Amino acid sequence: MDKPLTRDEVRRNPIFYELDLNPEEGDENLIIDVIYDNLSPLRLPDLRRGTDIPRGVWFWPDWFDIPPYEEMHDIDGRYVYPRAPGIHTVQIRTGRQKFAQMGRVRDFSPESGGYTSQVFEFRIAEDTYVRE
């Protein structure tokens, strides 16, 4: 992303991305995690074919919200700053969810049809106003 996002844009709008669905696996349900700034993966809602995603669709738009905190602890107890000005990273991983896996451990391995995207970067701009 060439143009930095303003803090107001980050506060009001989700981050959109598009999933390129494998047409050979067109009837599989999907599990999706977002890894934001190398934090522990954020689990997104599962997408079920026929209800959440129509059958035969090859591309699907999806989104996530940047955590609404200036400072927080991630699951591992580290301090993180999800909305701080500067460069942030996003990585998306997807996998096929078989009926027998529902409610169990999520498997993103290549053997189970899993995929992890490259790391995408975007920038949050510094505030342009001065508080008095």
> What is the radius of gyration, based on Cα positions, of the chain?
17
How far is the CA of 38 from the CAs of 7, 127, 129, in angstroms? Answer: 20, 24, 30
| 52 located within any domain | yes
- Tell me, what CATH number does 108's domain have? 2.60.40
- Asked if the structure places residue 15 within a domain, the reply is yes
Q: Do residues 76 and 40 lie in contact, with contact meaning Cβ atoms separated by under 8 Å?
A: yes
Question: What is the average pLDDT score of the chain?
Answer: 81
**What's the pLDDT score for residue 119?**
93
In a domain, 130, yes or no: no
Would you say residue 132 lies in a domain? no
Q: What is the pTM of this model?
A: 0.77
13 touches 68 (CB < 8 A): no
CA 68 to chain centre: 15
Tell me 11's DSSP state: H
Q: What would the pLDDT profile of 32-83 be if each residue is shown by its tens digit?
A: 899 988 888 888 888 887 778 877 777 888 888 888 888 888 777 888 888 8
Count structural domains, the chain: 1
32: nearest Cα among 45, 18, 49 = 45
- Domain containing 22 equals 7-124
